[in-house]
Chains A and B, each alone.
Chain A
């Protein structure tokens, strides 16, 4: 499913005395089956942007096209029923561990699909599959979600969205507060989802994750999209331009390039490639 923003503006507080423009003429595209990272400072409009994707927020001006759905400021153009869109575009919010409420883990995960009309037995079956995918074993299925640790609950929450079998999964900073192992496991899960054909949209602050996983990057600043393209091109240019954090790998590469090393970034996927290249170039220079 392709997601397209067409000159979208969004204002908060149109009824209150304080008007705040969160999105300013957003015109961009999230490609089908891509792994798109959305980055930018807190308050740059990332969270507002993703809420337009499933109609939680309606643009104040312009339209969002999600497959056949139209979320437009113009009532006539807008798709009448937005609920089916929420099944197609699943959003996992920040601190999703606090959205669980059912008696058991499996019921909680089945809650989403059942809201979209899946029968209970079928929903439970999907729930079990999703739970296994996120690494929550069978012994947890009948437990109360509140007996789980924070990290486990977050994975259950993600399974809850996956169980809706969305075409696009949007994740708002899913790795915040996790330890390095937790981050790695979670990122591998998203990678797997992506490889299976789901479009993954990841909102994050962690440039090292962007470097390692993204196929596309959208950089936002003050409610505007300031960059859209591949991660290598972004890090190749000066990241400081958007006052983002430079990934450590990029720091290394930039430092070495200043010293006369030359790298073909398309060929370097892992640190091992980089090390090989460094060793090779050291030898030839000697």
Chain B
């Protein structure tokens, strides 16, 4: 069950927690784009990855995301990373020229090493970003944000409200169902089922003995919940007011501009073939970014202090 805790919302009072979830989702997308921009030279690729990494590192610091959990999430990807490494190293890239070293008759090119490194870094940055988003935003707020984004689809009768309601109920019932899983597993273990060891066939049976009761219980829950919602006057087709309101503040605007600028800068760099030899520009950018980030960091710290009083 411990894997499920990865990326779970951690209530804290930080600058990032207080941001509008819509802005957070947009920023996530903007930064994702920035991560996936490629550059003409390897130097540039790694420098930009470094800057992004630094930025994300600071975000993690500000949002108080646990680095232990961050690395844990990476550990879950071990297999994928090894697999990618092997594939990249075994297949000779088209433009590979310089051999880094040889193992027996197998030549390993710098190009392939860089390629795999790039992929791993991108994966790491992506996972970290997503983790920062999910640990700093209530799932329900994410749902509201998604509902907001889907608003235009209402024109074509897309059931945005129903989808949002479905997601929020699913989120609400995750802990309840996890408890249920635990209870059924214990009940079946008491009947001699072994969920951890045994032959494939007996393990299959073990899983059946968990899944079927879980489904039956969930259906019953769903039915009772539907009755209760209907009795409380819920009608998905009817007009409803909403209690939750998403608020867009100056801070949100600021973060939005920052992330937008970041993405724009990466695109510009990529398209105009900037290289490391481009004088002055890169250091300035790094310094600029850091300044802004420190400002952000300060704001976060100030916020935290205010709440502690």
Chain A contacts to B: CB under 8 angstroms: 15-16, 51, 54, 56, 83, 86-87, 90-91, 93-96, 98-101, 111-112, 115-116, 146, 160-161, 164
Contact = CB atoms under 8 A, between A and B. Distances in A.
A99 B208 CA distance: 11
B184 A98 contact: yes
Interface of B: 2, 5, 180, 183-184, 186-194, 208-209, 211-213, 216-217
Contacts of A15: 2
Interface of B is mostly: helix
B190 A56 contact: yes
Contact of A100 (B2, B192, B213): B213
A95 B179 CA distance: 13
Contacts of B2: 15
A101 B209 contact: yes
B191 A164 contact: yes
A99 B187 contact: yes
A96 B187 contact: yes
Given A15-B2, A101-B209, A160-B191, A51 B216 contact: no
B213 A86 contact: no
B190 A101 contact: no
Among B180, B183, B191, B211, the most chain A Cβ lie within 10 Å of the Cβ of B191
Contacts of B5: 16
B232 to A, nearest CB: 23
Given A83-B194, A87-B192, A115-B193, A93 B213 contact: no
Contacts of A56: 186, 189-190
Contacts of A164: 191-192
Nearest to B190: A91
Nearest to A93: B187
A119 B151 CA distance: 61
A111 B211 CA distance: 16
A232 to B, nearest CB: 32
B192 A51 contact: no
B191 A111 contact: yes
B189 A99 contact: no
B186 A111 contact: no
Contacts of A91: 186-187, 190
B189 A161 contact: no
A54 B209 contact: no
A161 B190 contact: yes
B160 to A, nearest CB: 34
A164 B5 CA distance: 36
A37 to B, nearest CB: 20
A116 B192 contact: yes
